[in-house]
Amino acid sequence: MTKARRRPSDGVQFLERTPARLLTLYLPLGLIMAFLLFPFYWMTTTTFKPDAELYDFVHFNPLWVAHPTLEHITALFTDTDYPSWWINTMLVTVGATAISLVASICGAYGVERLRFRGSSYVGLAIFLAYLVPPSILFIPLATIVFNLGLFDSDWALVLIYPTFLVPFCTWLLIGYFRSIPFELEECALIDGATRLQILLKVTLPLAVPGVISAGIFAFTLSWNEFIYALTFISSSENKTVPVGAITELVNGDVYHWGGLMAAALLGSIPVVVLYSFFVEYYVSSLTGALKE
């Protein structure tokens, strides 16, 4: 008796069985999630640990909090300028994100829809500008900031951050605008609409997921930026959260780990909230930008 030939669907059915899915899907995902979320768990536990538990691994479990405390969070708000850092970071981030989105939308629409000579090369050049390291650019940008009288001002960061936000956001929106049928704009042109009206009333409503994705990217990168904020801001009350936490909570070789982790934990909340509300738009827009 010959053996029955295995059908192609047998392999799919094998993957759909519970033990197979547990081994091939849930176990790898669980390991990846544990690996990615462990730093946040460690940051949270360190925030609520008293100093005695932070440095005594003999009598206390380093992975658990035996006696939770709010002393690190309280000290962060009373002994440092953390509220000012948080407000400065929010103002700089929102301002830089708004400027970057306006410039990126106009640039992406011009490159993708106007179809001028060399537009494809311009789009490529815009993306390549994103690959230039900020550590190279902050020296010439410092000269511009000093000449404009913006040193130690949050406006310096608002105007400088778009230099690395606009290239990637423009490239992302170019890919998303490409997925929108051009026939819709042709119909609007026939009806007498201008290019600005088409952009505002036809293209942008259809490109909301892409705009949200670009906004999330710009917001996250602005919120976490360190080099420019460290270079152009000197006074404590004007610092942002990443710079203020490192410069004010580290004294020589003494690291105030409780305060550092509390600053990082509270500083990550806006980004976490933003991603939790718009993660579906973020994934869909990346798919639309990369599929072509």
Instruction: Tell the burial category of 256 from Cβ atoms under 10 Å away from its Cβ (0-12, 13-18, 19+).
Output: buried
Beta-bridge partners for 254 = 251
Low-confidence ranges of the chain (pLDDT < 70): 1-18, 281-292
Structure confidence by residue, pLDDT tens digits, 17-64: 667 777 778 888 889 999 988 988 999 999 999 888 888 777 888 888
Distance from the Cα of residue 132 to its chain's centroid: 18
Contacts of 165 (CB under 8 A, 6+ apart): 96, 97, 100, 104, 217, 218, 221, 222
pTM assigned to the model: 0.81
d(CA 207, CA 199): 10
Domains of the chain: 87-290 (1.10.3720.10)
Q: What is the pLDDT of residue 158?
A: 93
DSSP state of 238: G
